[in-house]
Every structure is written in C-alpha cells, then in structure tokens.
Structure 1
C-alpha cells in the first residue's frame, strides 16, 4: 500500500490482524520446540513437567542421553556437514563455470542447454533420487560383472548422496551467479586489457570481486539446501545416515525431547549465521 494514501481503521486492523496471525502461525511451532527441549518428561510434547537440561547434557543418568553425548546424533550431524560443505563447494565451482559458459560464450544449442539445466529443479526429489540410484547401481553392477571392479562409491552412501544433491543444487548456483554476471560491465575488462593486464589478473582483480556477493550467496543457499534435503537423500543414503534421515527414523520409532534439543541447536546456529551475514553486510556498507 502507498504510504501517502490514507487507509481506514478497519483496513489497518485487518492488515495488523493478518500479520499477527501469519507470524503466530510461523513461529508458534518453533517456540513449542524450544520450550519442550527443556521439558522434564520422556516425550517431546505437553504437558509441562518441569525444567531440565537432561536432553542437552545428560550422560546416561536416569536412562537419558542428551544431545551432547548422543554419539549417533553427533555422527549424523557430522555427516550432514561433510555433505553440505562438499556439495556447496562443488556447486559453486561448477555453477561459476556454467555461468561463464552461458553468459560469455555463443555456441549451437545454447538455449537448449539452458533449458535442460532447469529440468532437475522441476523433478520431484524422490524421482531424482530413485533415478540416480538405479543408474549408478547398474553401472556398479556392470563393472563388477564384467571387470571384477568394486565401485563402492556408486552404491548407497555419502558419495552418492553428494552426487544426487549436486545434480539439482548446481542448477540453483548457476542461476544465481549468472544473474550477477549478466549485469557485469564488460568495458571494465576491456579497459584493463587495453592497459596490458593479463586475463588471469583481470579475473582476479575485477571480475571475481564483482562476483563475490553472488558466490557467497550461492554457497550459503547450496549449503542450506543440502543440509535440510530429505527426499533425494533418503533414496541414496547408506549406513552413514545424515541428520535429516536419522531424525526421521527416530520420529518413526518414538521421538524423545532430544529431537527438540537438536532442533533448538540448529535454530541457534541458523540465527548466528544470519546475524553474522547481516553484520558483515552492514560493515561493508
């Protein structure tokens, strides 16, 4: 609504009521998770039984193992961090190369290639995971039957999860970096070249600093998408389960407040990450 146009009290009330209900719907479930991470009860839901830190720091006392001493949960978190870091790094590197290919090069079939790049984004994650699993398993079986080679990285496990997530996240990083590269003023590179600068020097001192915000943004998006991914990961995971798969398995078996505790920890880490980015941007401004 344009600020200069006056609005009636009823419209202001409706707008404020809508915003209040929207944020209540958005944050009430999260607040319940935070509160019941400290509930002194063996179940992650009401009623309130008292305050406790057992679900964070208990080391087997009273039959409770908190987040800090839950080895299986810590290992799954470590697996998720490894997967997300690897996927984000590979996606940014490949996305940067794709962006230069699509924005700086002219070749036959360029439009078709650009369209095909969007296909993984519209395919359901479960279908994408099943397709990759079937394809890679067939290759591994062929290599085993004909050459006696055990290609374990093509079997369900962390390498296959990384490959499956990379298959669609790289499209997102490519679009993010391409959007920034498209607005780049080529006259800056031409002027530097006329002054005798090499291609590598031009890229490191002019192009790369200009792309840095897009690269950091693409890396952050890729990391978060990889960390929270479930559908594709579920089809490709092996014995080393990432955090999302482990939490899903525990929810099926009967959840405890440890699930609330790990959710609280992830919310705190996300808040710190967002705060750091906001402070970094304000410092640059």
Structure 2
C-alpha cells in the first residue's frame, strides 16, 4: 500500500486485517512450540496436562530436561563453535570483497561478482555434496600418493565450517558492500592527501563507518550458521551440531524437550536480532 495514494476506510481496515492475519500465521507455530514445552505430558500435543518446567530442569530417567541432557548440550556447544568461526571468517572475507568490488575497477570484475553470488542460488544439499566430493577426492589422492591422511578434508567440523562459509560469506558481502557504497570517497582521499597511509584511512575512517554493517552481518552469519541444516547434514561427522541432533531425535519420536530447545533458540535469535537493530540505529 502506497501512503501517498488516498485509500478508502474499508480498504485500510481490510489491509490491517490482512497484515494481522499474516503475522498471526507466522507467530502461531512459534507460540504453539513454546506453550507445549511447558506441558506436563510425555508428548508435545493436546490435551493440556498442566504447567511444568520439567522439560527444562528435570533430571530423571523418564523426564530428562534440556539442561541435564548431555547430548543436546554438547550439540549446542558444537553449533556455537561452528557459528562463531563461520561468522568471523565470513565477515573478514566480506570486508575484503566489499573493498575489492566497491573501490577497484578491473577486467572481469562483473564475472567475479556473479561468481561470488553463485552459492546463493545453489541448493544447500548440492553445495554440501559438491564440497564433500571435492574435499574427499583431494584427501584420497594425497593419501594414496603420499600416505598422508588429511582429516580436516573428511566429514567433520572443519568441513562444516568450510561448507557454511562458502555461501554465508556472500550474504555478509552484500550487507557490507551496501554500507560501503554510501561512504563518501572524498573523506578517504582527503586523509590520504594529508599524509595518512591506506591502513590508517581504513582503520580511522572506513572501518568505523562499516561498524554497523559489520556487526549486523556477523549476527546474520552467526544465525544462518547456527540454524543451517541442508549443507551441515551432508558434511557432518561424529560431532553432530544441534540441527542434526534435533533431526535424529525427531526420527526417534518428538518429546517436549525438543520444544524447550526450540523455545530457547527463538529467544536467543530474537535477542541477537534486537541487538543488531539497536546497534544499526545507534
């Protein structure tokens, strides 16, 4: 709806109802998940058996809450480690890519830019299979030729980080490039004319200007890595991240513990999103 175009009251009310129903459609499943994490029942479904926090804090064989479930806690730590490494690598490469594409002109620039965007349009499963096939082929060749077993090229945490980094860095690049495009280059040129080195210009002018975008892209990269499933499923080894652990638990049978995990993830993601918005506004 365009605010500058006059609209009838009937249309405005209809539009408001539509927006309300749309957000209700988005929020209803999340609310249901959170509510059933508090249900005093062995199954996350109706009927409502009463309020309980057992699925968070209980420590017995029949009802083992989230904070006493070693496998789930270990998988959360694994996902956190992966997400931190992916976010750091993605932001570092994104800053470099943004400077390359926004500050320099060279032959083949458009081709390289299109190549950078390619992981965004490739399905996660295909990307994971491609990375696994490529890395395993290299590892097998080196092992057959030189007798060296390169474990980091086998399914496991390093390969998960590499696989997620391949497409998440592209998202971070787009965010930081959009911010860098708004920086007046005359500020940088003036600093260079006054005797500052390129490193000083980057440290005192460019990087502070990019700070909101860097933090925002780091949050986005962290969340995308933490919740990624398709690529992670193909590249996971013995150390399973949270998404793979939840998938395995769902195949065995859903319990309210999984609802409790989902509720905490929703709260954590919401807090990170609010922090990102607050920093960007500031």
Provide the residue aligned with 2:196 in structure 1: 197
Report deviation, 1:262: 0.5
- TM (norm. structure 1) is 0.94
Report deviation, 1:278: 4.2
Determine the C-alpha separation between the residues in 1 that align with 2:147 and 2:115.
35
* Structure 1 position 232 matched with structure 2 position 236: no
Between 1:157-166 and 1:269-278, the stretch displaced more is 269-278
Between 1:161-170 and 1:20-29, the stretch displaced more is 20-29
Provide the residue aligned with 2:63 in structure 1: 64
RMSD across aligned C-alpha pairs, in angstroms?
Answer: 1.6
Provide the residue aligned with 1:7 in structure 2: 7
Provide the residue aligned with 1:53 in structure 2: 53
Provide the residue aligned with 1:251 in structure 2: 250
* Structure 1 position 35 matched with structure 2 position 35: yes
Report deviation, 1:233: 0.5
Report deviation, 1:84: 0.7
Contact 2:213 2:280 (8 Å CA) reproduced: no
Determine the C-alpha separation between the residues in 2 that align with 1:21 and 1:31.
15
Deviations 1:224-279 (A, max 9, x none): 11111111110000111111111111111101000000011111212322333444
Report deviation, 1:165: 0.5
Determine the C-alpha separation between the residues in 1 that align with 2:145 and 2:244.
34
Report deviation, 1:8: 3.1
Provide the residue aligned with 1:183 in structure 2: 182
* Structure 1 position 271 matched with structure 2 position 255: no
Report deviation, 1:24: 1.6
Between 1:172-181 and 1:238-247, the stretch displaced more is 172-181
Determine the C-alpha separation between the residues in 2 that align with 1:5 and 1:105.
42
Gap change, CA 1:184 and 1:8, over 3 Å in 2: closer
> How many residues matched?
282
Determine the C-alpha separation between the residues in 2 that align with 1:147 and 1:239.
26
- TM (norm. structure 2) is 0.95
Report deviation, 1:45: 1.4
Provide the residue aligned with 1:24 in structure 2: 24
Determine the C-alpha separation between the residues in 1 that align with 2:181 and 2:8.
44
Provide the residue aligned with 2:88 in structure 1: 89
Determine the C-alpha separation between the residues in 2 that align with 1:281 and 1:120.
27
